[in-house]
Amino acid sequence: MTKHQYVNREISWLRFNARVLQESEDKCTPLLERLRFLGIFSNNLDEFFKVRYATVKRIVQAGKSGKSELGGERAKDLLDEITNNVIEQQEKSIAILHAVEKELEAENIFIINETEIQPQQEEFLKAYFIQNVSPVLMTIILNEHSGFPTLKDTAAYLAVRMELIDTEDGDGQVGNKVRYALIEIPKGINRFIELPKEGEKNYIILLDDLIRYSLRSIFNMFAFRNITAHMIKITRDAELDIDNDLSKSFIEKISSSVEHRKISEPVRFVYDRDIEKDTLSFLKERMRIQEDTDSVIPGGRYHNRRDYMGFPNLGRGDLHYEKIRPLPIKGLNLEGSLLEQIAQKDFLQHAPYHTFTYVIKFLREAALDPKVRSIKITVYRLADNSQVASSLINAVKNGKQVTVQIELQARFDEQANIEYAEQLQAEGVRLKFGVPGLKVHSKICVIEREEGEGVKRYGFISTGNFNESTARVYTDYTLFTAHEPILKEVSKVFDFFETTYKVRNYKHLIVSPHYTRARFEKLIRREIANAKAGKEAYIKIKMNNFTSYDMVDLLYEASSAGVKMQLIIRGICCLVPGIPGISENIEAISVVDKFLEHPRLFIFANDGDPLVFISSADWMTRNLDYRVEVGCPIYQKDIKQELIDAFEISWRDNVKARVYDAVQSNGYRQSSLPPLRSQFEMYDYYVRKLQEPREDS
């Protein structure tokens, strides 16, 4: 294969973020939701530079080309390509923000800056600054001869330039002297300040502009002719450097690494393009910005636009997406015993269309049931005030043995998970911290309950985190089951955490790092053999990311053999569909809409008897080989059909689906069929299911 038959993963990620940016431009997206998508775009970009750009930069600094890891592209060339792409996207995002602001004005919502403050607003803003902002403002006077302060990762700063009035210079002449300062934009205060409403008009001023408005008050001890302030920010490498000190606990090592991240090497420097040249030169020199390896991005007046995800509602529900009412799962009664009902048949929860309450109810019931002996669960990301954690603590207090495998290295949630680990441990929960060298990304839970003369297992297997906050905006599948062979193998995964040197055998589950790659390769090769034999052969896949070049090559082989493939890949896709003689039997789309598409679903034709699997694993090298992941077969006929239906609904999307092509141009799917917006249709699908008569009625 040549590099033209792959898309570089970093560039593909940037194309995904361009799809997020498209949502902020799309006129059918509610106006205030368009601001939210601008915030998501900005937040995504921050994380990209912390992780992916930083990784490529380390390859360059190590003196390597990185061509094998980067799909044939030289690392240094890739850094330049990323920077150019980001500059272009930043320009577009600024233009979109200005357009949205104009449309907001038509809705009587005005975002003003410090030059547009009206006399009747001054008293309110001066009082607000004195009472709320001034006490927490961190202002640093910069001195040419003293050390430069360590800037916080992703914090926004105003770089202040003052032209001081000198009474006399060396020749007895009056002159000017430039002095610099930095003001950190406080994070503990809402970025968007609502001013008193005037009639039907709503006024918003950004905290940044209120600080600009107050510059003369802040620096009243200096005599200056002129004062300006322009925003800057840096992004630091987010890689955790875990030491090998045997005297430290794993929690201590991760805590130390998270703390060290605050002073790690910068990888991106963003500045207001209107900043004075001497100020920019001063900052780059003192911050030791490397133009050849650091991404230096000229931006707009405002940075940290991720804060737009929290733009005030202003009581304008008409400018937001209508909130859906999460539905019950047909046949699974929350008022009765979930365990008794799950003992009879499996149930599928499809968030956010179904309420996440079922997960909490399951754990609460297990915590109270006197026959339940133990609960084992994996934790990757929890909500801020997690009912999951509360339920597990409740179980311990009722004498249950609770084992929690918590992943302390969950990217950007390390500190939160450390705090939860300490809380759970203090309450008597038995904690496991995974396997050296492997992140635990699986989403599994199993309980053991005394029944009759023995023990019966109940549990759930999911594609997403057990997080009630993200369950409102992420689409994910959770299978509730009492299927003994499956749950016996779930218990084997927990046994692996205890004795990592022993490799278990699995007949049902698809488990990384030992079996996922080989099992999917076997399933694909079966489809290849069926296609060659003239039998029905197809593969349908829904994932977040597809970056494993080995798996791409295998799908190319399947395409050449005549296997028809449909891929729904939300984020990164390194495969190029439609290459004659290589991938002409592969179609691929991405759906970006109101909810974040997060499930992993795999469907294989199997000569007319489809095999269906859900999984926590994308087809990325890390998920296949370097993480603990769990995939689960779906055996129950009605749930299997439900998942096939769900895939088909997503595949038929012709409103929010973008078609993958060789350059990932993000063109919307063109169709002569009536408009179908899959996320809206998916909700209606479950409404219709509830209206159908029950099979046992």
Burial class (CB in 10 A: 0-12, 13-18, 19+), 664: buried
- Using an 8 Å Cβ cutoff, are 235 and 268 in contact? yes
Closest CA to 349 of 471, 483, 487: 471
pLDDT digits (tens, 9 = 90+) for 345-373: 999 999 999 999 999 999 999 999 999 99
Summary mean pLDDT of the chain: 90
Task: Please give the helix or strand (H or E) that residue 236 lies within, else none.
Answer: strand 224-236
> Model's pTM, two decimal places?
0.90
- Using an 8 Å Cβ cutoff, are 564 and 537 in contact? yes
Query: What pLDDT shows up at residue 246?
Result: 42
Instruction: Please report which confidence band the pLDDT of residue 500 belongs to, taking 50, 70 and 90 as the band edges.
Output: confident
pLDDT digits (tens, 9 = 90+) for 14-37: 999 999 999 999 999 999 999 999
Alpha carbon of residue 131 to chain centroid: 36
pLDDT digits (tens, 9 = 90+) for 396-409: 999 999 999 998 87
Q: What mean pLDDT is predicted for residues 185-209? A: 94
Query: What pLDDT shows up at residue 429?
Result: 94
Contacts for 448 with CB less than 8 Å, ≥ 6 apart: 372, 373, 374, 455, 456, 457
- Dihedral (Cα; 372, 374, 377, 382), 10-degree rounding: 70
- Using an 8 Å Cβ cutoff, are 387 and 468 in contact? yes
Q: What region does 399 belong to: left with phi over 0, alpha with psi -120 to 50, or beta?
A: left
CB-CB neighbours of 263 under 10 Å: 11
pLDDT digits (tens, 9 = 90+) for 618-647: 999 999 999 999 999 999 999 999 999 999
**Annotated catalytic residue: which of 354, 441, 483, 598?**
441
**Triad 579, 581, 582: Cα angle to 5°:** 60
Q: What region does 503 belong to: left with phi over 0, alpha with psi -120 to 50, or beta?
A: beta
In DSSP terms, 302 is beta-bridged to none
- Using an 8 Å Cβ cutoff, are 537 and 530 in contact? yes
- What's the CA gap between 396 and 387, in Å, rounded? 14
Task: Check whether 1 has a pLDDT greater than 50.
Answer: no
Task: Check whether 177 has a pLDDT greater than 50.
Answer: yes
Q: What mean pLDDT is predicted for residues 52-66? A: 78
Quote the crossing angle between the two packed helices 549-560 and 516-532, to the nearest 10°: 10
Tokens of 326: 């999460």
In DSSP terms, 475 is beta-bridged to 597
- Using an 8 Å Cβ cutoff, are 449 and 458 in contact? yes
- What's the CA gap between 276 and 362, in Å, rounded? 60
Instruction: Please report which confidence band the pLDDT of residue 171 belongs to, taking 50, 70 and 90 as the band edges.
Output: very low
Query: What pLDDT shows up at residue 176?
Result: 61
Measured between alpha carbons, how far apart are the two ends of the chain, in Å? 57
| 27-41, 180-194, 230-244: the lowest-pLDDT one | 230-244
- Using an 8 Å Cβ cutoff, are 623 and 512 in contact? yes
List Cα–Cα distances, 13 to 563, 580, 586, 592, 616, in angstroms: 27, 25, 20, 13, 20
- What's the CA gap between 311 and 538, in Å, rounded? 45
Query: What pLDDT shows up at residue 277?
Result: 93
pLDDT digits (tens, 9 = 90+) for 545-591: 999 999 999 999 999 999 999 999 999 999 999 999 999 999 999 99
- Positive or negative, the Cα torsion across 283, 288, 289, 292? positive
Determine whether 441 is an active site residue. yes
- What's the CA gap between 79 and 98, in Å, rounded? 29
- Positive or negative, the Cα torsion across 54, 58, 61, 64? negative
CB-CB neighbours of 428 under 10 Å: 14
Task: Check whether 56 has a pLDDT greater than 90.
Answer: no
- Using an 8 Å Cβ cutoff, are 530 and 504 in contact? no
Q: What mean pLDDT is predicted for residues 101-108? A: 96
Query: What pLDDT shows up at residue 456?
Result: 97
pLDDT digits (tens, 9 = 90+) for 281-327: 998 888 888 776 667 888 888 888 889 999 999 999 999 999 999 99
Tokens of 37: 């998508």
- What is the 3-state secondary structure of 283-352? HHHHHCCCCCCCEEEEECCCCCHHHHHHCCCCCCHHHCCCCCCCECCCCCCCCCCHHHHHHHCCEEEEEC
Query: What pLDDT shows up at residue 112?
Result: 95
Task: Check whether 134 has a pLDDT greater than 70.
Answer: yes
Task: Check whether 70 has a pLDDT greater than 60.
Answer: yes
Query: What pLDDT shows up at residue 435?
Result: 80
In DSSP terms, 204 is beta-bridged to 111, 194
- Dihedral (Cα; 273, 275, 277, 280), 10-degree rounding: -90
- Using an 8 Å Cβ cutoff, are 591 and 657 in contact? yes
Give the rounded percent of residues in the chain with a pLDDT score beyond 70. 91
What domains, with CATH codes, occur in the chain? 3-319 (3.30.1840.10), 338-498 (3.30.870.10), 510-691 (3.30.870.10)
